[in-house]
Each structure stands twice: as C-alpha cells, then as structure tokens.
C-alpha cells in the first residue's frame, strides 16, 4: 500500500486542512507512514505569516530533497499559504517538487495523484472548502469546523488576504449537519474556524443569512456537543450578541481570543485594524460584563513600522490593564506584497527584540496573577492524554482553555472534575476529584 507523511506549519486552519488531506488520502487507499523517510508521498502544509515560518519550512523541504535523491519515485507535494504566495515559482526554486497547491485547491491533490501525469503541476485558484473533504481527526473527541475561508480585512502587515482570498462562508445548514455527524461520531468539543469568524455569514444570500451568534446557538443545540470554541474573531465584530452567547449558551466556553496587535491608537490606525485603544478596551468590558470570569487571550505584534517607544508603552499599558490569561507575541515581520512592508520607519531588529522581552515579562506576570483565581476551585477538564512532562499524570483543558496537568484515573475524551492546587502563567496542576466522580456515577 502507498504511504504518506504530512508536516503541518502555521495556524489551526492549517491543522484542519491537514486532517482533511489525510482523510482524502486514506479514501484514495493511502496509509499514514510513521516517519518522513518511509513515505511514498511527502507533503508539507505551509504557512507564510512570518519570515521565520518560511525559513523553518525550507529546512524541512531540503530534507525531502535528500530523501528523493535516494528514492527517485517519492512524490513531494507543497500545499498551503506559502505555496499560494509563491505559486509556480516553487518549481523554479525547488525543481524536485512534484505538485503544489493553495489552501483552496487541496482536492486537486487527489486529481494529481490519480492521473498519469508525470510533470509537475500547480493549482492555485480558490475552488472549494477543505471542509468538504473527508477528515481524519487527531483526537476522536475534538473536531474543527471550517465555517468560512478567506478574509476581507486589509490589515497592513498581513499576507493572509492574499493567500486565502476573499471571505466565503459555508451555509449554516451544512455546518449544523456536519456537527450532528461529528457528535454521532463521539465528538464533544468543536472549534469553529475562520480567518475572521465573527464576520461569518455576511456574504451568504439574504434568505440564508445567519449571524455568527446565531450559528453558535445552532451548534450549541446539537446533542452531545459539550464545548464550543472559535478562532479567530476580529475585535471590530465582537458585539453584544456574541458576548451574550458566551453567557447564555451552555456549550460555548468562557474564553475569547481577542487579537489586540497594538495598544497604540496611531499604530492601530496604520495597521488598518479599524478600532482604537478605547474601542478595544470597550470590547473587553462588554465581554466581562456578560461573563465576568471569561479568559481572554490575545496576539500582539511589536515593532510595526513607525512604532515609537511611546507607542510601545501604550501596548504595555493595555496588556497590563486588561490582564490577559495568555498572549502570543510576535516580532513584526515584513511580508511581500503587504502595505506595511513598504512603510517608512521600519524598526531595527535589536529594538524589536528588546521590546518583545519587556512585553513577554508583563504578559507572564499578569497571566500568572490571573491564573491564581483558579487555585482552590474544582474545574471540569476535558482529558487529552498523558502529561507531556510526566507520563504518570494526565493532561487536559478547562473550559477557560487552561492546560491542566493532574493525577487521576480518567481516560482521554472524558470530562472530569479536577481540584486545582497550583497555577503558573502557563499551566494549572491538580488532582482529579474522585469523590465528585463517584457521586456523579
Ligand atoms: N509580522 C508579525 N506578526 C504577524 N501576524 C500576522 N502578520 C504578521 C507579521 N507580518 C500575527 C498577528 C496575527 C497572528 C496570527 O500573527 O498577531 O494575529
Ligand atoms: Fe499561516 Fe495565516 Fe496561512 Fe494560517 S492562514 S497557515 S497562519 S499564513
């Protein structure tokens, strides 16, 4: 039997797309190879969001070339955002690549593999949702739901609108049917995915139009779905209905990832984020008004062109004021074809690095403080498997999306009460409450 190996870079949408690639390959009769050198088909699902992502991927691609030198019949495929951003150039730069495709063309991989074609081929027009392909889930109890693709925002730093195109939503009825199938299959947690999830539905025909908050309610109503998450929303589209959904719908988790990017209004304007510092803080207040204990996480970019020390202090100040439960922090990285790459006032690398360090210190200090509110509480944890640091313990997540390492007897996929004993900025630790478990049984 022919075998494949997929390496995934980038965001959750890419993880989702890779699960669909795997599902599609298995329906063609391929089997997953344990390691790259054993595979007949070596695939990369790439990311282009920052320069580092490009560099990491190219090192892996060189390894594939070495394998192909030893076994000439190996097929090398490159999909995803990096492939989309360079298109056919990929074959000039890397002549050993056999097939390349963008995020909207994953299904063409099947066409390529089942044709007799021996020449390299590239596919880059958006044609279909990967969500329509068969899936192969990493964990049987957790699933991704691709609600839309593409993005209509024009954030000055971001390459995604050019790699994933204009926003297209999938009809709500189709999504609900998919979630019903998932639930029947044992899925307990779904994560709704889109580049900008909360603008979902605006492109649908008027008579089929469903808002993001309405979609949350329809997914919440599916029997068996106990946790709903989504990523990523845009702060501009967080309205009262979404905040209320977190408060009123039992399965919607108490966590919002709300990308800040910068705390300085002039920088936010230059980034074309369409909100300023006060409006962002207003959205945080709105969420906390409805769900006081809601976990908030964010993304922050340091060193956007023109960012002064004063702008950066505004960012530190917002991060300190909000008190995020966690944050992804990035050095600004100029991307080809984006507006910001051409802006004057590019910030020197050393300045970016120094700012990042200061930012990380504030993020961690606040996250550590925030996490203390969980100590002494008994929280429901969805068990994911053994702890990464100590195989004798278990690892799972709370509804607030906090990772918990704990001792207990539960099996992956179970939701069990855990008594929280300690908290760091990143993780909680505790013990499964066997008394509560016995009482529930
Ligand atoms: N440079 C640095 N970070 C970026 N991001 C997006 N584009 C860039 C860039 N050019 C970050 C944003 C986004 C996250 C997924 O990646 O913070 O929210
Ligand atoms: Fe990377 Fe963005 Fe593409 Fe996701 S959508 S793979 S983060 S470039």
The dihedral region occupied by 225, where left means phi > 0, alpha psi between -120 and 50, and beta the remainder, is: beta
Note whether 53 and 10 are within 8 A (CB): yes
Q: Is the peptide bond before 232 cis (omega within 30 degrees of 0)?
A: yes
Compute, in angstroms, the gap from residue 330 CA to the centroid of ligand 1: 7
- Angle at 185 (CA atoms; ends 179, 187), nearest 5 degrees: 60
How far is the C-alpha of 287 from the C-alpha of 184, rounded, in Å?
A: 32
Q: Which protein residues are within 6 Å of ligand 2, measured from CB?
A: 10-11, 13-14, 47-49, 80-81, 159-160, 163-164
Q: Looking at residue 29, what is its pLDDT?
A: 95
The pLDDT value given to residue 280: 98
Distance 293 CA to ligand 1 centre (A): 27
217 Cα: distance to centroid of ligand 2 (angstroms): 28
Calculate how far, in angstroms, residue 279's C-alpha sits from the geometric centre of ligand 1: 20
**CB of 260 closer than 6 angstroms to any ligand 1 atom:** no
Ligand with an atom nearest the CA of residue 328: 1
Best of 262, 280, 299, 347 for a ligand 1 pocket test (most atoms within 8 Å of beta carbon): 299
Q: Pull the structure tokens for residue 347.
A: 């910030």
H helices present in 28-88, as ranges? 51-70, 81-86
Ligand 1 nearest-atom number relative to CA 232: 18
158 CA: nearest ligand 1 atom: 7
Whose C-alpha lies nearest to ligand 1, atom 17?
Answer: 299
> How would you write the pLDDT of the chain (441 residues) with one tens digit per residue?
899 999 999 999 999 999 999 999 999 999 999 999 999 999 999 999 998 888 889 999 999 999 999 999 999 999 999 999 999 899 999 999 999 999 989 999 999 999 887 688 888 887 788 988 989 999 999 999 999 999 999 999 999 988 888 999 999 999 999 999 999 999 999 999 999 999 999 999 999 999 999 999 999 999 999 999 999 999 999 999 999 999 999 999 999 999 999 999 999 999 999 999 999 999 999 999 999 999 999 999 999 999 999 999 999 999 999 999 999 999 999 999 999 999 999 999 999 999 999 999 999 999 999 999 999 999 999 999 999 999 999 999 999 999 999 999 999 999 999 999 999 999 999 999 987 677 776
In the chain, the domains with their CATH numbers are 3-123 (3.40.50.12160), 137-253 (3.30.750.210), 375-440 (2.40.50.140)
> In angstroms, what is the span from residue 160 Cα to ligand 2's centroid?
6
Looking from the CA of 274 toward its CB, the CA atoms found within 13 Å total 9
The CA distance from 149 to 197, in Å, is 9
| Residue 272: DSSP 8-state | T
Q: What is the DSSP letter of 347?
A: P
Neighbours of 146 (CB within 10 A): 22
Among 56, 81, 194, name the best residue to mutate to test ligand 2's pocket (greatest count of ligand atoms within 8 A of Cβ): 81
Ligand 1 center to 50 CA (angstroms): 7
């Amino acid at each position: 039997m022919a075998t494949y190996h997929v390496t995934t870079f980038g965001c959750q949408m890419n993880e989702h797309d890779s699960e669909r690639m795997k599902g599609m390959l298995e329906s063609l009769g391929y089997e997953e190879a344990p390691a790259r050198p054993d595979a007949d088909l070596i695939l990369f699902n790439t990311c282009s969001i920052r320069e580092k992502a490009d560099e990491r991927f190219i090192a892996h691609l060189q390894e594939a070339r070495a394998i192909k030198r030893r076994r000439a019949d190996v097929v090398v495929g490159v999909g995803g955002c990096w492939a989309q951003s360079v298109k056919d150039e990929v074959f000039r730069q890397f002549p050993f690549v056999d097939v390349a495709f963008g995020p909207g063309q994953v299904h063409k991989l099947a066409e390529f593999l089942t044709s007799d074609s021996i020449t390299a081929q590239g596919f880059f027009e958006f044609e279909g949702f990967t969500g329509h392909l068969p899936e192969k889930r990493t964990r049987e109890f957790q699933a991704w739901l691709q609600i839309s693709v593409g993005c209509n925002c024009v954030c000055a730093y971001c390459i995604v609108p050019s790699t994933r195109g204009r926003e297209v939503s999938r009809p709500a009825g189709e999504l609900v049917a998919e979630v019903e199938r998932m639930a029947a299959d044992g899925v307990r947690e779904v994560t709704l995915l889109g580049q900008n999830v909360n603008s979902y539905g605006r492109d649908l025909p008027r008579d089929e139009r469903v808002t993001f908050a309405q979609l949350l309610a329809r997914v919440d109503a599916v029997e068996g779905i106990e946790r709903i998450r989504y990523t990523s929303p845009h702060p501009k589209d967080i309205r009262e209905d979404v905040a209320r959904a977190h408060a009123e719908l039992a399965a919607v988790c108490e966590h919002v990832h709300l990308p800040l990017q910068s705390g300085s209004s002039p920088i936010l304007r230059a980034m074309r984020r369409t909100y300023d510092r006060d409006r962002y803080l207003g959205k945080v207040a709105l969420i906390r008004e409805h769900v006081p204990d809601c976990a908030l996480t964010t993304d922050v970019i340091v060193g956007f062109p023109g960012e002064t020390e004063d702008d950066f202090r505004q960012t530190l100040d917002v991060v300190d004021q909000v008190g995020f439960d966690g944050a992804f922090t990035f050095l600004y990285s100029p991307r080809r074809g984006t507006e910001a790459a051409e802006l004057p006032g590019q910030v020197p690398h050393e300045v970016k690095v120094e700012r990042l360090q200061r930012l990380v210190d504030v993020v961690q200090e606040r996250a550590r403080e925030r996490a203390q509110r969980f100590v002494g509480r008994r929280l429901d944890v969805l068990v994911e498997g053994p702890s990464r640091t100590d195989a004798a313990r278990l690892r799972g997540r709370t509804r607030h999306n906090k990772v918990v390492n704990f001792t207990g007897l539960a099996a992956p996929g179970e939701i069990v009460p855990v008594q929280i004993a300690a908290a760091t900025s990143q993780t909680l630790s505790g013990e499964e409450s066997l008394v509560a478990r016995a009482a529930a049984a």
